Amino acid sequence: MLNIPNIVTEEEEDAFFRTISMNVKRLRKEKKMSQLEVALSIGQKAPGFYANMENYAHGKHFNLSHLFRLAKLFDVSIEELFK
């Protein structure tokens, strides 16, 4: 039988995703871009879904491809999204 450790709590994971979402929102506002502009720029066709990710609403969060594209769009290192 496998003994799989619990490496993160749900609260830690929520905090992680919220940090990313807050950083994306901050950078978008600094660049004076709308949610629609950013959504379309990263290939997200549904601006409502993008808004949910940016606000970490309904458990929606950015995936690695989104983060890579957002870092390129905002001209920052990807690490900036995690601080």
Q: Contact, 81 vs 67, CB < 8 A?
A: yes
Q: What is the per-residue pLDDT for 21?
A: 97
Q: What is the per-residue pLDDT for 1?
A: 83
pLDDT surpasses 90 at 65: yes
Average model confidence (pLDDT) across the chain: 95
Q: What is the per-residue pLDDT for 10?
A: 94
Write the class of the CATH domain 12-82: mainly alpha
Which of 79, 83, 63 minimizes the C-alpha distance to 71?
79
Global pTM reads 0.90
Average confidence (pLDDT) over 13-33: 97
Alpha helices in the chain (DSSP H): 10-30, 35-41, 47-54, 64-74
pLDDT band at 49 (very low <50, low <70, confident <90, very high): very high
Q: What is the per-residue pLDDT for 62?
A: 96
